[in-house]
Structure 1
Amino acid sequence: MVGIQQPPPDYDMVIVGAGFAGVTLLYHLRKQGHRCRVLEAGSDLGGTWFWNRYPGARVDTEAPFYGLSIPEIWESWQWSEKFPSQPELRRYFAHLDKILGLKEDIDFHTRVTHGQFREDRWHITTANGRHLTSRFLIACPGPGTVPHIPSFPGLDSFQGTVTHSYEWPEEGIDLAGKRAAVIGTGASGVQIVQDWAKHAQHLTVFQRTPNTALPMQAESWAPDATLTHAAFCNYRHTHFSGVNYQFTPINTFDVADPAARQVFRESLWQRGGFPYVYANYQDVMTNPAANREMYDFWAWKTRARIVDPRKRDLLAPLEPLHPMGAKRPTVELDYYDQFNRPNVDLVDLRSTAIRSFEPNGLTTTDGRFFPLDVIALATGFDMITGGLTHMGLQSVDGETLYDQWRGDGGVKTYLGMSIHGYPNMFFLAGPQGPLSFSSGPIGIEVQCQLICDAIQSLHVGGHTIFEPTASAQEAWSHRVKAMFDGTLFLQSPDSWFLGGNIPGKKRELLTYAAGLPQYQKDCQKAFSTWEGFVRR
């Protein structure tokens, strides 16, 4: 008896997410002739720049290196700021759609709740009741899309306005005459404080760990008219992070003159942004003394901006709480200056803790009550893995990805883009890939090109299905973790680099740390022979 032949899948490719990764893949895969559909939970393009609409939100990477290399876009767009703001990023995505016609292949208000590969295809279910099938699933949820809200006692009893930075109301929040609080001083906390301090009647900032924020130095910025498209694209093949700077190839104390080292650091400081850390001497993340000298210069420059001695010691302590750079720094416009305002207070959550929320404020364990009308929770995300583990993905054996990665074995991937037990699936901007140490859009374009080339190679070879082997996945995961041997990153165990900001999450290194050029070589070598994969 002849078996019943299944109808073809609905699509060749289902892409989850319409941020930088999703739209870049859509553009390139359509050019290859694939039938694609993008599923996006939000109501517009932008990914993190759609959701993170809190006041002051902006990128931490200099223009134009926080953008795509697609020629039609490069030639038709000009950034207006050194560190573009969230509204400018929204305009950029609108421009992408205008030039590339993206929305015709995107379904908005469509959140994926389940996905499993069976019967040689992906079966995908969404929150609004749709069921789709596809040959390939490419997950692009973004590294920071699952907000972390600590289990504060009584939070639900607070009768004022409370919101996580990722869930900001589209209409904004009116601070006129309001007593406000920001809980958390990571990247979003720093940016919210810079805005709210200027508008709230009173602002209380609750800080656990001081942020080693770096000055933007954006006042006199102008676009680099000499940067060609070819040079922009070449940096991803030659420079660690894919941008126009990288660690200086000399050790700190090989420069014997302290005054010369001071002059060098001052030049980086005046440049602004991440170069102060990531264009510094090459040993600042391996040599404790070199790292301490880098921190001391930062503290000296920062402390000079803070008038109150108590706030100065909390915001820029003379003794660092962790090696500088072991937690991702942020960039700031005038963050430290806001604490000189008479309406801004700072609470040290290392000497006290939030005991409970009340209908009209919160109480700390030292007995103080803080009357509040508005609270911003800048408490971070289940970074790098959360977007993938909260999609309801199941392996061919029926185990959820959430349970697999939360187990004793921890996170396992191959090439930071594929997972054993999940055939015909790629993911971008996730664990054991290079994006934590690269420009987001540039790292995404690198991974996108690798994926498109791999899919083309698979078809040319006469295969339709691929899956990484368990042994290849184990070896890759071991190699990624070994990259941090001898570095100072392990001395900050509560960093999101290690998953340390989420209670119950396994502490492990979650990012590839050998740089974009080496990452491309590793992946190209594997895909050239499909080493570490089974194909059929």
Structure 2
Amino acid sequence: MKKALGLAFLLPSIGAGYYLFSKRTLPEPTGKPYQELPKASYEDHPNKHIISKIPKTIGIIGAGMSGLISAKTFRTQGYEVEVIEKRPGPGGVWYENFDNSGLQGTKDTYFLPDYPFPDNYPPFPRRQQIKDWIDGLVKKFDLSPLIKFNTEVKSVTQNPDETWKLTFKDGTSKNYDFLVVCSGFNDIPKIPQYKGQENFKGKILHSSEFINAKVHCQGKKVIVIGAGKSAFDIMSTSVDYGGEVLGLVRKIGYAYPVNPKPYGIPFEFTTYSRLAYLCGIIYDPESSFIHKYFGFIEYLWLKFVHLQLRYGIIKELEPDEKDLHFLETAGIRDPPVQKKIADGKIKLMRGEIEEIKENGIMVKGKLIECDTIVFATGFKPNYYVKQKENDGFWLYRDVLVPGVRNVAIVGAFITTYTNLWSNIQALWLVDILRGSFKVASIEEMNKDIDKKKKIMFKYYENYKGDPIYISSQPFSPFIIDEYLNDLKIQTVRDDTMYKHWFKAFDINNYKTVVTHHI
């Protein structure tokens, strides 16, 4: 009996060990580097519901990261590409920003598979480092000749043949066979309007206008509105330039812990591994066997993530959010910011503006005097070809607008691993145009979107904010797998299943995916 019981435990253990630790053959590129024109003729093209003809000219709106990624992807496939950018240079929000701005997460979640960060970059690169890296990207892939700088789109209209016409602010216009919108989530600064705002005698700025910090802060009383990463970066910068700083926050969200190993366990393992996503932070939690059969594991895992997020956080920054699944992030992760708050150099106040007076703001019936008000209140997206719906902004695979031909949106939302996501989206889109595989029908797309809506509404059932944040789903490796499955590319990119499930998601694993036609 004992032997039978021993075997009952031993054999599954051996099987699990073999599954997790046996070496696998890594996928190797079997085709040429991406230098191919579309293969299918229009007569036998499988995706006529996406294109009205074989596209030659590709118009891309925006030279931020998604626009640059799309430009390099389409150009290496032989398309004639033109990028429209309203700023004088590339990089989107990184082109010009305040001194202390930086990444929301670590650099390990932001680089490109075929274009890494320099080895000497810190874990959280600052704005100038990001800008230098982007300038290097443009140079490496020779993208400058493709970009029309200082050119702002006034309107976008679809021609009778379903191609697209862009009209610019200078009155000129141009047609493109296919349009890729990469204006992103951070396009239009969002400043709330308050009673008396026009009477304020000081300076009112959006975070995107907080460029010359010394002028705005030195010797002045500065109030920063918001609790996101940019808000805390601006508070810290304002102190550095001699400002008397108050941060007005509605509530405090979760933040990347200062210590990379809270309680001795790497934070990336508990949040960025496939196992972590399987335990609740994933696209479709109900498809997870852990969610179905081992709910207590999911619960305990998320409770531990919450403990890690609180690790080392001072009392003033203790998060208000209690929902286990919905983590509203603040991006506070700099020890200097915490020290300035703990030392009283940055004062925090929970509340909302009731009215703006000539010399300050009213909060909770009291006047708080100030010289400068900075609204770190985010942006509104402008996707040109599709408007936000009442319940969010929904696309098929976060790229295609069902029923509208010759257009796609790449990099629609800000999330973890955003640049890798945009890169895979662009590859997926190119192969649709080339006719390499048949994408879902319009009916199938709408069914997929309806399924996603049900999942996300349940996932965010306690969320009371703008529904666009519900449709802008969090990143998941399983979403990348969806694109790769469509492209018939192997989804397991590690040499053991142990690494596949337990180590942090690794952008380096996708280098050959973005450089070769496999």
What is the TM-score of this pair, normalised by structure 2? 0.72
SS state at 1:214 partner: coil
Distance 1:111 1:11 in 2: 23
Whether the aligned pair in 2 keeps the contact of 1:326 and 1:491 (CA below 8 Å) is: no
One-letter code aligned to 2:306: Y
SS in 2 for 1:370: strand
Q: Is 1:66–2:44 an aligned residue pair?
A: no
In 2: Cα distance, 1:341 partner to 1:189 partner: 18
Distance 1:79 1:417, change over 3 A: farther
Q: Does 1:387 align with 2:349?
A: no
Please give the secondary structure, in 1, of the residue aligned with 2:170: coil
Deviation at 1:32, TM superposition (A): 2.2
Q: Write the distance in 2 (CA, Å) between the matches of 1:88 and 1:513.
A: 24
Q: Within 5 A, what are the aligned runs for 1:97-496? A: 97-120=138-161, 121-169=163-211, 173-217=215-259, 265-268=262-265, 271=266, 277-279=271-273, 283=279, 285=281, 287=298, 290-296=301-307, 298-299=309-310, 301-302=312-313, 306=314, 312=315, 314-316=316-318, 320-323=321-324, 325-334=326-335, 335-349=337-351, 353-364=352-363, 366-382=364-380, 386-388=381-383, 391=384, 393=385, 401-402=386-387, 405-407=388-390, 411-430=393-412, 436=415, 438-457=416-435, 470-484=442-456, 487=459, 489-494=460-465
Change (3 A) 1:131 1:171: farther
Deviation at 1:181, TM superposition (A): 0.9
Does structure 2 conserve the Cα–Cα contact (< 8 Å) formed by 1:323 and 1:492?
Answer: no
Residues 1:520 and 2:483 are matched in the alignment:
yes
Q: Does 1:511 align with 2:473?
A: yes
Task: Go from structure 1 to structure 2 and tell me whether the alpha carbon gap of 1:320 and 1:296 turns closer, same or farther (over 3 Å shift).
Answer: farther
| Cα deviations by residue, 1:133-189 (Å, 9 ceiling, x for unpaired) | 011001111222222211222223222222111233467644221111110011211
Task: Return closer, same or farther for 1:513/1:439 CA change in 2, 3 Å cut-off.
Answer: closer
Query: Residue 467 of structure 1: CA displacement?
Result: 10
Q: 1:158 to 1:321 in 2, by over 3 A?
A: farther
| Equivalent pair of 2:65/2:419 in contact (CA under 8 Å) | yes
AA aligned to 1:339 is: I
Q: Indicate if the aligned counterparts of 1:163 and 1:376 stay in contact, CA closer than 8 A.
A: yes
SS at match of 1:354: coil
In 2, Cα distance between the equivalents of 1:88 and 1:330? 18
Q: Secondary structure, in 3 states, of the residue corresponding to 2:241?
A: coil
CA contact (8 A) 2:303 2:324 kept: yes
Distance change in 2, residues 1:468/1:200 (3 Å): farther
Structure 1 residues 338 and 492, CA gap change in structure 2 (3 angstroms): farther
Question: Residue in 2 aligned with 1:92?
Answer: 133
Q: Aligned partners of 1:151 and 1:39: how far apart in 2?
A: 31
Partner deviation per Cα, 1:399-438 (whole Å, 9 max, x = no partner):
xx32xx3357x5342222111342111110126xxx62x4
Q: 1:490 to 1:33 in 2, by over 3 A?
A: same
Distance 1:443 1:298, change over 3 A: closer
**Deviation at 1:338?**
1.8
Q: 2:95 aligns with which of 50, 68, 79?
A: 50
Does structure 2 conserve the Cα–Cα contact (< 8 Å) formed by 1:160 and 1:360?
A: yes
Output the aligned Cα RMSD.
3.3
Distance 1:323 1:467 in 2: 35
Amino acid at match of 1:511: Q
> Partners in 2 of 1:344 and 1:148 — Cα distance?
24
Say if 2:85 is the partner of 1:40: yes
Conservation of the 8 A alpha-carbon contact between 1:37 and 1:105: yes
In structure 2, distance between residues paired with 1:10 and 1:486? 39
State how far apart, in whole Å, the 2-side matches of 1:155 and 1:444 are: 39
Partner SS for 2:447: helix
Q: Distance in 2 between matches of 1:194 and 1:297?
A: 24
CA contact (8 A) 2:63 2:85 kept: yes
Contact 2:213 2:238 in 1 (8 A): no
AA matched with 1:62? T
Contact persistence 2:102–2:127 (CA under 8 A): yes
| Greater relative CO (CA pairs within 8 A, separation 6+) | 2
The answer to whether the 8 A contact 1:212-1:324 is kept is no
Give the Cα–Cα distance (whole angstroms) in 2 for the partners of residues 293 and 17 of structure 1.
Answer: 40
Q: Decide whether the 8 Å contact of 1:9 with 1:133 is kept in 2.
A: no
TM-score (norm 1): 0.69
Aligned partners of 2:328, 2:85: CA distance in 1, in Å? 30
- 1:82 pairs, out of 115, 123, 139, with 123
Aligned equivalents of 2:331, 2:325: Cα separation in 1: 12
Using the TM superposition, give the Cα deviation of residue 45 of structure 1 relative to its aligned residue in structure 2, in angstroms.
Answer: 0.4
Distance in 1 between residues matched to 2:54 and 2:441, nearest whole Å: 25
Per the alignment, do residues 171 and 125 of structure 1 end up closer, same or farther by CA in structure 2, a change over 3 Å counting?
A: farther
Residue 468 (structure 2) aligned to one of 461, 478, 499: 499
Q: Report the CA distance shift for 1:523/1:149 in structure 2 as closer, same or farther (over 3 A).
A: farther
Deviation digits for residues 330-356 of structure 1, max 9, x if unmatched? 24112322212334322111xxx3111
Shift of 1:289: 5.8
1:450 and 1:509 map into 2 onto residues whose CA distance is 20
**Counterpart code for 2:382:** G
Match of 2:400, SS state, is coil
Q: Across the two proteins, how many residue pairs are aligned to each other?
A: 417
Tell me if the contact between 1:354 and 1:362 (Cα under 8 Å) persists in the aligned partners: yes
Give the stretch that moved more between structures: 38-47 or 101-110: 101-110
**Contact 1:483–1:514, Cα closer than 8 Å, also in 2:** no
TM-superposed deviation, 1:19: 1.3
